[in-house]
């Protein structure tokens, strides 16, 4: 079968990763969580004690970070300098660091090649914030997945509580609103729908319905 690419963009907490992962399994292709790459860089910056708001400091230590996506039975795993950091990058602090470093041109340039290379050799479902607009502008299917801030905050809050994180719904909502603003207003590859993307709002949908909605878009666009 000829390879293809599905680009799923959207704000933090929209459910992109879980929906994209399920869609990839249904389509029999590789799922690529690009946000994990930026989170790994953010973790590296934190460990090095660098200022995530300083492009100069981040660029200086960037060459010391080797980020890889590997695949195991349980799915995608993220490695930073040979260490599996898949769990460590899923905290609110990691999310904030990821948003900060994602504004830095050197970081985006370093990760762009990794993302595009994966789509060159295989069919992929790739999610992030600039996949349809920058990373894979020629993707056969582009979807902008979103939901209201309140719904997204509640979903993220429940995920964090299940993982044992000590936080509140108010804190999660405030972080989410901050990140929405930061991602949408950054100069480099801001969060926005691609002109030819299909908007899918999951505010009133459960997980299965959300997956079905994006699967329908793929079917309508590709016949798969």
What are the boundaries of each domain within the chain?
A: 5-213
pLDDT in tens, 157-175: 998 899 888 899 999 999 9
pLDDT at 72: 77
- Residue 14 main-chain phi, psi, to 5 deg: -80, -10
CATH C-level class of 5-213:
alpha beta
Return mean pLDDT, the chain.
91
pLDDT at 74: 74
Instruction: Give the SS3 label for residue 151.
Output: helix
Report the C-alpha gap between 222 and 156 in whole angstroms.
32
The Cα angle at residue 28 between residues 22 and 32, in degrees rounded to 5? 60
pLDDT at 179: 87
pLDDT average, residue stretch 114-129: 90
Adjacency order of strands within the sheet including 198-201: 30-33, 124-128, 5-9, 141-146, 198-201
Confidence of residue 1 (pLDDT cuts 50, 70, 90): low
Pairing of strands 67-72, 75-80: antiparallel
Report the C-alpha gap between 133 and 40 in whole angstroms.
22
When comparing pLDDT for 152 and 113, which is higher? 152
pLDDT at 2: 79
Say if residue 108's pLDDT is above 80: yes
pLDDT at 89: 93
pLDDT in tens, 182-220: 889 888 888 899 999 999 999 999 999 999 999 999 999
């Amino acid at each position: 079968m000829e390879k293809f690419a599905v680009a799923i963009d959207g704000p933090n907490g929209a459910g992109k990763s879980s929906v994209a992962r399920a869609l990839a399994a249904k389509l029999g292709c590789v799922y690529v969580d690009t946000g994990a790459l930026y989170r790994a860089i953010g973790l590296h910056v934190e460990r090095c004690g660098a200022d995530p708001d300083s492009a100069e400091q981040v660029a200086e230590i960037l060459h010391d970070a080797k980020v890889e996506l590997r695949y195991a039975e349980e799915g995608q795993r993220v490695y930073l300098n040979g260490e599996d950091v898949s769990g460590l990058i899923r905290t609110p602090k990691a999310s904030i660091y990821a948003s900060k470093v994602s504004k830095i041109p050197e970081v985006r340039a370093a990760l762009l090649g990794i993302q595009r290379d994966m789509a060159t050799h295989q069919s992929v479902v790739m999610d992030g914030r600039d996949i349809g607009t920058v990373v894979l502008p020629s993707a056969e299917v582009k979807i902008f997945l979103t939901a209201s801030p309140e719904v997204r905050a509640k979903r993220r809050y429940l995920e964090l509580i299940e993982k044992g994180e000590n936080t509140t719904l108010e804190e999660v909502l405030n972080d989410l609103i901050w990140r929405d603003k930061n991602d949408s207003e950054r100069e480099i590859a801001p969060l926005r729908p691609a002109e030819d993307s299909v908007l899918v709002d999951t505010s009133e949908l459960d997980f299965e319905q959300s997956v079905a909605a994006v699967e329908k878009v793929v079917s309508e666009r590709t016949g798969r």
